[in-house]
Structure 1
Amino acid sequence: MIEVRGLTKHYGSTVAVDDLTFSVKPGIVTGFLGPNGAGKSTTMRMILGLDRPTAGTATVKGVPYGQLHDPLRVVGSLLDAKWVHPNRSARNHLKWMAAANGLPRTRVEEVLGLVGLADVADKRAGGFSLGMSQRLGIAGALLGDPEVLLFDEPVNGLDPEGIVWIRKFMQHLASEGRTVLVSSHLLSEMALTAQNLVVIGRGKLISDSSVREFVDFATDTTVRVRGPRLEEIERCLRDGGLGVRVEPADPIHPPHLVVSGATTDQVGDLLAARSLALHELAGQSGSLEDAFMKLTGDTVEYHGADADAMLGHLPPDRQPPGGPPEAGRHAAHGQDVEREVR
């Protein structure tokens, strides 16, 4: 387990981490989220003893990292995939790490196989793609077969197959009872990978909860309804006291209704009583992206121009299919739209 208590880090007058407290439990993948500059990397470095806290503590299995005996057997980490000497082969890099930490050479071949680098193990690390360097970094983190693992942007540079592989691999590691902390900006992937989230902004804790709790707290749940007699369906739902919004056709959906303040069961029963046929009845919960943007928007250090407004000012021949995005479309469609937040 990782325990962070009142952790604070000042760089001169800049407060990078501000009285941060959270726990990372074994047996699940914990996502570590926050905008750029939120203090995620600084926090991970303090957990690993690479930076000294101004105040507070960060412990692994009850003690600071610097007091661990055989630390590589307890904690594995990937913070920078490109720190490997470029002229050293992947195999020799891992052999050097094993020798320095009293680990058997047989473990080198095991981890090379685990991360899919066995066939290129004798090639120079300097010639590796970013994705291959990430795999080598993961191999180094696994070398001591540790109980605790920290990964900073582990899917960076991986192709889709590699992203799916690392997702399943991390979940497998957690299922073995290990403690797994993963920092990432790829929110759609975090929604599939993590069970718990620690979210920070400007060095302060915003949330420490399950993914579902985080999304439910910050977003609304609605029901999408579609049928052949849409106007009658709308009247029925309004007569039943429900909030209804009419959504016209767009490139993704035909005309439909969005109902708030009710479950799919309630909507279905109400329409069945009027013998109104349905072609679609689907619950829509908010996405992790929606929740993240809502709860961290005030902590973003640098804001770019509004993308929807920029698209709205494009000439007609450069508009995307269906015209400029309508205000609130992302929030209305919930998990139908996901994008990478940088």
Structure 2
Amino acid sequence: MIEAVGLTKRYGRTVAVDDLTFTVRPGVVTGFLGPNGAGKSTTMRMVLGLDRPDTGFVLIEGKRFGELRRPLRVVGGLLDAKWVHPHRTARNHLRWLARAADLPRTRVDEVLDLVGLAKAARSPAGDFSLGMSQRLGIAGALLGDPRVLLFDEPVNGLDPQGIAWVRKLMRTMADNGRTVLVSSHLLAEMAQTADELIVIGRGRLIAQCPTAQFISEATESSVRVRTAQVERLQTALVHKGATVRHEPGALVVVGLDAAEIGEVAAAHGVVLHELSPRRGSLEEAYLRHTEDAVAHHAG
């Protein structure tokens, strides 16, 4: 578990993180969202002990990072995929990390195989594509088999197969009871991956809740209906309390679900050609929640 309480971090006159409090629970994948400059990377650096908050604190499984006796066995993080000496091979990079953390060398080849870099183990990291660098960074995060994992934009540069692999990895880690916090701008991917969300803007907490709740509270669910008997169906639906609006070739119904609309249609002898539920997207909900928290708007 990660517990952040009253985190504040300033750089000169700029407040990067402002009295931020949240909890990341084990057993779920938690998405960490916010516009550019919202303070996500600064927050993750404070969780990992790389930056010190001006006020507030972070606990990882009940301890501050500096109190962890063997930190890589407790928490693993990927913040910058290119943070590797370019002339060091993938294997030697991980061996260096393993030696510093008093981990067995056998673990190096295990994680290289796990992330799909076994054949590139002897290649210098400077020759890696961004996607390969991401895999190496993930290998480093997994090296100590930690119970808490933080990933900052882990799928950047990955192909669709790689993205699916990262999604499965995070799901497996969470299902095994680990704490997983992942930051990403790929909202469609987060909609598939994250069970819960922490959303910040201008360094402050905007929302923390299950992903489905975040979407439902900020978007409209509707049903698209096509029929040749438009007027009869519209009159019946409005009588039932629905709001009905027209779009080319169809009606859009709000206030009744698909089953209720089907029952109304059947009761009034209306033949339906389409009955398609529409639910709001994470992107729509995110944009609505963060519209006042974006540092720069396009003109």
| TM, length-normalised to structure 2 | 0.98
Q: Give the structure 1 partner of residue 251 of structure 2.
A: 257
Q: Give the structure 1 partner of residue 286 of structure 2.
A: 292
Q: Cα offset for 1:238?
A: 2.9
2:269 aligned with 1:275, yes or no? yes
Alignment of 1:115-134 (within 5 A): 115-134=115-134
For the residue of structure 2 that corresponds to 1:99, the secondary structure is helix
Alignment of 1:308-319 (within 5 A): none
Alignment of 1:168-179 (within 5 A): 168-179=168-179
Q: Which amino acid aligns with 1:17?
A: V
Supply the distance in 2 between the matched residues of 1:217 and 1:224 (Cα, whole angstroms). 20
For the residue of structure 2 that corresponds to 1:257, the secondary structure is strand
Alignment of 1:196-275 (within 5 A): 196-248=196-248, 255-275=249-269
Supply the distance in 2 between the matched residues of 1:241 and 1:300 (Cα, whole angstroms). 37
Supply the distance in 1 between the matched residues of 2:239 and 2:290 (Cα, whole angstroms). 38
Structure 1 residues 171-219: Cα deviation after superposition (integer angstroms, max 9, x where no partner): 0011111000000000000000010000000001000100001011111
For the residue of structure 1 that corresponds to 2:272, the secondary structure is coil
Q: Which amino acid aligns with 2:294?
A: V
Structure 1 residues 250-285: Cα deviation after superposition (integer angstroms, max 9, x where no partner): xxxxx2111011122221111110121112212212
Gapped regions of structure 1 (runs ≥ 5): 249-254, 306-342
Q: Give the structure 1 partner of residue 14 of structure 2.
A: 14
Q: Which amino acid aligns with 1:240?
A: K
Larger mean CA deviation between 223-232 and 21-30 belongs to 223-232
Q: Which has the higher strand share?
A: 2
Q: Give the structure 1 partner of residue 110 of structure 2.
A: 110
Supply the distance in 2 between the matched residues of 1:278 and 1:117 (Cα, whole angstroms). 53
Q: Give the structure 2 partner of residue 34 of structure 1.
A: 34
Supply the distance in 2 between the matched residues of 1:172 and 1:230 (Cα, whole angstroms). 48
Q: Give the structure 2 partner of residue 302 of structure 1.
A: 296
Q: Which amino acid aligns with 1:139?
A: A
Supply the distance in 2 between the matched residues of 1:226 and 1:237 (Cα, whole angstroms). 13
Supply the distance in 1 between the matched residues of 2:68 and 2:29 (Cα, whole angstroms). 23
Supply the distance in 1 between the matched residues of 2:274 and 2:69 (Cα, whole angstroms). 59
What is the count of residue pairs matched by the alignment?
299
Q: Which amino acid aligns with 2:285?
A: A
Supply the distance in 1 between the matched residues of 2:91 and 2:229 (Cα, whole angstroms). 66
2:135 aligned with 1:135, yes or no? yes
Larger mean CA deviation between 180-189 and 95-104 belongs to 95-104
Q: Give the structure 2 partner of residue 319 of structure 1.
A: none
Structure 1 residues 132-156: Cα deviation after superposition (integer angstroms, max 9, x where no partner): 0000000000000000000000001
Larger mean CA deviation between 224-233 and 141-150 belongs to 224-233
Structure 1 residues 32-62: Cα deviation after superposition (integer angstroms, max 9, x where no partner): 0000000000000011111110101111011
Q: Cα offset for 1:121?
A: 0.8
Supply the distance in 2 between the matched residues of 1:87 and 1:273 (Cα, whole angstroms). 74
Supply the distance in 2 between the matched residues of 1:75 and 1:177 (Cα, whole angstroms). 14
Gapped regions of structure 2 (runs ≥ 5): none
Q: What's the % identity of the aligned pairs?
A: 63
Structure 1 residues 204-253: Cα deviation after superposition (integer angstroms, max 9, x where no partner): 100010000101111111111112333433333234332111111xxxxx
Alignment of 1:139-150 (within 5 A): 139-150=139-150
Q: Give the structure 1 partner of residue 157 of structure 2.
A: 157
Supply the distance in 1 between the matched residues of 2:227 and 2:26 (Cα, whole angstroms). 47
Q: Give the structure 2 partner of residue 336 of structure 1.
A: none
Supply the distance in 1 between the matched residues of 2:272 and 2:90 (Cα, whole angstroms). 58
Q: Which amino acid aligns with 2:266?
A: A
Q: Give the structure 2 partner of residue 101 of structure 1.
A: 101
Quote the RMSD (CA, aligned, Å). Answer: 1.0
| TM, length-normalised to structure 1 | 0.86
Supply the distance in 2 between the matched residues of 1:300 and 1:9 (Cα, whole angstroms). 19
Q: Give the structure 2 partner of residue 323 of structure 1.
A: none
Q: Which amino acid aligns with 2:287?
A: M
Alignment of 1:62-73 (within 5 A): 62-73=62-73
